[in-house]
Every structure is written in C-alpha cells, then in structure tokens.
Amino acid sequence: MAVGLYQLTPWKHACLRRCRGPVAFIARHWRRGTGGALRMGMVHGAHCTGCCWLAMGLLFYGGVMNVCWIVGLSALMLSEKLLPAGHAVGRMSGVAFVAWGAWLLAASP
C-alpha cells in the first residue's frame, strides 16, 4: 500500500518529470569537466531514484526469487519514464497497489 500511496504523491511526479527529460536537464544544469559531469549525473540520478525508490524496494522484496515480479515492476517503471502517458500509468498503478494492499489486509486472518 505504501508503494501505491507514494505513486500518488506530488513529490513522486515532480521527480518523474525531471527524470523523464534528461536532455532538458543537461541543457539547464550543464557543468564543465569530469567533476561537472559527475555532479550532473548524481543530481539526475537522485531525481530518477526519487521517482521510483519505493517501487525499487518492492522489486527487491518481491523479486528476489521471482522473475515475474522483476519483469512486471521493471516494465512499470520503464513505462512511467518512457511513455507519453507515463504520469497516468503511475497514478493508475498507485490506485491498483493501494486496492491490492487493502484487499490483502481484508483477506488476511
């Protein structure tokens, strides 16, 4: 449920906006030299990690021995980043994760 709630937050979508446009990020935050490239990479990587860190945690938890989890969650994160409707994919998956979590809680003894 936590992954689903995070998918619906404005912070997640702000990070996703920055992660989806690396060319715009580079144009806006250009730094010279190796150190500048490292700094730009770290900042852009932080935005990309910020948009899906909780789903990555679920990927590790559920996907340690399950290839279906790995493929499914990786496809979800990739579609959020690459598809034109990526923000909508994130919102729909958020609602689905919350509903699934609520169902699991209701079904548990």
Is the pLDDT at 90 greater than 80? The verdict is yes
Is the pLDDT at 26 greater than 90? The verdict is no
Which range of 22-31, 35-44, 62-71 scores highest in mean pLDDT? It is 35-44
Is the pLDDT at 76 greater than 80? The verdict is yes
pLDDT of residue 103: 94
How far is residue 97's CA from residue 95's CA, in Å, rounded to a whole number?
Answer: 6
Q: What is the pTM of this model?
A: 0.77
pLDDT of residue 18: 82
